[in-house]
Amino acid sequence: MCTPQPYKVVHVLSDVYTTLVAVDSFLITGLVSILTQPRGEKTDYHMLRTQ
């Protein structure tokens, strides 16, 4: 039976943590935007420069 190496487990956990932090940052940015902008107001952050 193969036991997992400690450094591999730590590496996987750090990858999961990094992914969760990135997703959390994205969601918090959207939540702040929703809570602070008047309803129906369009923002340019999601548009291309040519639009």
Residue with tokens 């420069």: 49
CB-based contact 43:33 (threshold 8 Å): yes
Cα 42-44-47 angle, rounded to 5 deg: 115
* pLDDT tens track for 33-45: 788 877 776 666 6
For position 14, what pLDDT does the model report? 86
Confidence at residue 50, expressed as pLDDT on a 0 to 100 scale? 63
User: Distance between CA atoms of 26 and 14, rounded to whole angstroms?
Assistant: 18
pLDDT of 1-46, one tens digit each?
A: 566 666 677 777 888 888 899 898 888 888 887 888 777 766 666 6
| pLDDT > 70? residue 49 | no
Domains of the chain by residue range: 1-35
pTM: 0.48
Whole-Å CA distances, 13 to 1, 7, 27? 22, 10, 21
